[in-house]
Amino acid sequence: MTGSVLIFDSGVGGLSVAAALRRYYPRARLSYACDNAWLPYGLRPDALLTQRIVDVCRAAVAVCRPAALVVACNTASTLALEPLRRTLTIPVIGTVPAIKPAAALSHTRHLGLLATTATVGRPYTQRLIERFAADCRVTRIAADALVTEAEAWLGGATPSPARVNAALTPLWQAASADTPLDTVVLGCTHFPLLTPWLATLSPVPLAWVDSGDAIARRVGQLVAPLAGAGVNGQAFATAPQPALARALLSHGFQRPQHLSVAAC
């Protein structure tokens, strides 16, 4: 199968996945769609949100005609992967917290899971922990404020150390515990965008693990060859904003266009 890859997220967090895809496949053609009209996803009812994700992704696929769709959002993946796979005829690659590689890295067997409230509390996340990190202590931290910080940073603002520290106080405490955590799972695609600030603010050195590399490898297994013209495809948003436009343009995508879908 040949062609472009469409990346979908509720906001600009999927740019961390786009960066991983670009590292692995520097000439691949990428398109980007985000539903920032409904950001943040974690605050929406599951049934309504699932239908929304399917509607937006179907509309984006119809416009971009990609060879594969990457759902670069943990919340969207846990809710809508199966409906999307039933609806679309192309491969759909989801995003899940990188529990498995983090457990393989940890020496203290104490992990931190940094995610949104929705991801932290989902049964799917618990099943990942039971399957891949059953011998580990996992400190779960809901850090929804980091989504806002990442969106603001890509819009040109500087992340607030005070707000980041306030959101991560439980993480810093766990990193200094008697059995300290040494590895942190970045369970939201927005969070890798803030890694330089997280590492600087951390009171101790930590390993930060996200899903970007695993997603890129999986895409490579399903879409071959990933060699385009070296130019990104279009970007679409359900509610274009100047900050969003600047973020996508700075990553090589064309100027965002409005994507009309139901309930926009």
Q: Which of 15-24, 27-36, 150-159 has the lowest mean pLDDT?
A: 150-159
Look at residue 1 and tell me whether its pLDDT is greater than 50: no
Averaged pLDDT for residues 47-74: 93
Q: What integer pLDDT is reported at residue 239 of this predicted model?
A: 82
pLDDT of residue 263: 41
Q: How large is the average pLDDT for residues 130-142?
A: 96
Q: pLDDT (tens digit, 9 = 90+) per residue, 228-240?
A: 545 567 888 888 7
| pLDDT > 50? residue 151 | yes
List domains and CATH numbers for the chain. Answer: 5-95+213-258 (3.40.50.1860), 99-210 (3.40.50.1860)
* Marked catalytic residue, from 34, 57, 64, 188: 188
Q: Quick one: 76 exposed, middle or buried, by C-beta within 10 A (0-12, 13-18, 19+)?
A: buried
**Quick one: pLDDT at residue 32?**
94
Q: Is 188 a catalytic residue?
A: yes
Q: Is residue 34 annotated as a catalytic residue, yes or no?
A: no
* Residue of 34, 57, 64, 73 marked active site: 73
Give the pLDDT of residue 264. Answer: 35
Q: Which residue has the tokens 């300290």?
A: 180
